[in-house]
Structure 1
Amino acid sequence: MPIYEFRCLACGKLFEKHFASMHEKVELQCPECRSQSLERVISRVNFITRSGKGEQKPKLTTKSCSPGSNCMTLDLPGPED
């Protein structure tokens, strides 16, 4: 169940919306002022990584996802199996 974060362009309210699936279609509106003028924002993440010799570091990859628009992926190192 994905959770997306939105900012209202009318009043500035920041809020989250839970979706049943990535493809769910819903009418979004600000819970504060009911405006439908919204933008999706990138949620902040927090993580701790060790800086020992040979440790993996986070990797940020940028690619073009549509004409005039870029998408970014942040790969965080995890425990070794």
Structure 2
Amino acid sequence: MPIYEYKCLKCQEYFELLVMSQDEELELRCPKCNSEEFERVISTTNYAIGSGSGAGQKASVKTRECSTGSCTTYDIPGLSR
């Protein structure tokens, strides 16, 4: 059962709805202003990598000079190398 995210073109409100079929999507209205003018937007995702040992920690990015110019290192909590 997909949950889609929409943006109302009239009041700019973002909202999520569970849509069972395409026919149901045609009947949708903005819950704030009741407009039928909206667009489906790409939702952001949230995921975890590893065993959860990094829960609550943020990833960090470090850039430094190296022999090939600049190098970037990504440190992702919960991901072991």
- Length-normalised TM-score, structure 1: 0.54
* C-alpha separation in 2, matches of 1:24 and 1:39: 14
- Corresponding residue SS for 1:43: coil
Q: Match for 2:5: what amino acid?
A: E
Structure richer in helix, relative to its length: 2
1:17 aligns with 2:25: no
The residue that corresponds to 1:33 in the other structure is: 33
Unpaired stretches in structure 1, ≥5 consecutive residues: 53-81
| AA partner of residue 25 (structure 1) | D
1:11–1:51 distance in 2 versus 1, CA, 3 Å:
farther
Displacement of 1:24 in angstroms is: 3.8
Aligned residues: 50
Return the index of the structure with the highest Cα Rg.
2
CA distance in 2, matches of 1:51, 1:30: 44
Give the % identical residues.
46
Aligned to 1:47: 47
Give, as a single letter, the amino acid of the residue that structure 2 aligns with 1:35.
S
Matching residue of 1:6: 6
CA displacement 1:21-76 (0-9 Å, x = unmatched): xx441211101111111010111112233262xxxxxxxxxxxxxxxxxxxxxxxx
Calculate the TM-score normalised by the size of structure 2: 0.54
Cα shift at 1:2: 0.8
Structure 2: 5+ residue runs without aligned partners?
A: 50-78
Pairwise CA RMSD: 1.5
